């Protein structure tokens, strides 16, 4: 049963499942699991699984586990400020892009990915992947938006609303995954008609530190791993 999945994963991870069994619905159980694990592969952000919501604290946490390959080159690690992005040794750099707060998102937009002045500009048809169970809207982002580009497949991204900034720390709320189809120069195939709405994404400042904001009650969500029996 779907509601049993968090408890099964907790037990597989070697953690005590009593607290999970006594908690509320499947969403609360998955939050306990994620905060208990503390280190999560970032590929989870690109998955099209159902989630807790959109553009809110903990909105990125899944309600299910979809078939996915996790390379583990980059991970999210829970800290005092939230879940920070960490690049494992030998992994490619993470590609963060910023989008103006004036951007108007639709189910599909024409996304211009702009890097440094000498970099080639690339165009994608970006389609939002939003589960029917997700709540909320991505229509307003007063502090702008952020897109994390999946460099391994070149066809996926994750969209975030910027919650706030503190120095070089950029706090994010997850919105939804994106599926990308590159539009090549001179491409005139009928199947690739361009969307009416356009957004421009510019490479983020290299000094920025991106953090998925943690729940304000997360101290009640963390679980200590029990010692494995000898």
The domain spans of the chain are 1-37, 39-222
Q: What is the pLDDT of residues 164-184, one digit of tens each?
A: 999 999 999 999 999 999 888
- Rg, C-alpha atoms of the chain: 18
Q: What is the pLDDT of residues 101-134, one digit of tens each?
A: 888 888 899 999 887 555 668 899 999 988 644 5
Query: Can you give the pTM of this predicted structure?
Result: 0.80
* Nearest residue to 30 via CA among 71, 68, 69, 60: 60
- How many CB atoms within 10 Å of residue 109? 22
When pLDDT is averaged across residues 62-80 and rounded to a whole number, the result is 81
Question: Over 60: is that where the pLDDT of 47 sits?
Answer: yes
* Alpha carbon distance 30, 26 (integer Å): 6
pLDDT for 144 equals: 93
Instruction: Answer yes or no: are the C-beta atoms of 143 and 153 closer than 8 Å.
Output: no
Instruction: Answer yes or no: are the C-beta atoms of 226 and 14 closer than 8 Å.
Output: yes
Q: Read off the pLDDT band of 71 (50, 70, 90).
A: confident
* Nearest residue to 81 via CA among 57, 46, 98: 57
Question: Over 60: is that where the pLDDT of 55 sits?
Answer: yes
In percent, the amount of the chain with pLDDT more than 90 equals 33
Question: Over 70: is that where the pLDDT of 13 sits?
Answer: no
Q: Read off the pLDDT band of 45 (50, 70, 90).
A: very high
Helices 5-12 and 26-37: crossing angle in degrees, nearest 10, is 20
């Amino acid at each position: 049963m779907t509601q049993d999945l968090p408890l099964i994963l907790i037990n597989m991870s070697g953690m005590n499942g009593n607290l999970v069994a006594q908690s509320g619905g499947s969403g609360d159980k998955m939050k306990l699991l994620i905060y208990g694990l503390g280190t999560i592969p970032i590929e989870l952000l690109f998955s099209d699984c159902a989630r807790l919501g959109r553009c809110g604290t903990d909105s990125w946490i899944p309600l299910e586990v979809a078939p996915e390959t996790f390379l583990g080159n980059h991970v999210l690690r829970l800290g005092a400020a939230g879940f920070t992005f960490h690049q494992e040794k030998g992994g490619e750099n993470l590609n963060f892009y910023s989008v103006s707060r004036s951007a108007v998102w639709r189910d599909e937009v024409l996304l211009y990915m702009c890097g440094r002045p000498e970099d080639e500009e690339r165009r994608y048809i970006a389609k939002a992947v939003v589960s029917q169970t997700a709540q909320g809207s991505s229509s307003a982002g007063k502090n702008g938006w952020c897109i994390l580009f999946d460099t391994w497949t070149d066809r996926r991204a994750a969209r975030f609303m910027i919650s706030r900034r503190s120095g070089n720390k950029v706090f994010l709320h997850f919105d939804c995954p994106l599926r990308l189809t590159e539009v090549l120069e001179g491409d005139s195939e009928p199947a690739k008609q361009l969307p009416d709405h356009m957004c421009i994404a510019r490479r983020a400042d290299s000094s920025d530190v991106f953090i998925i904001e943690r729940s304000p009650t997360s101290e009640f969500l963390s679980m200590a791993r029990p010692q494995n029996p000898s």
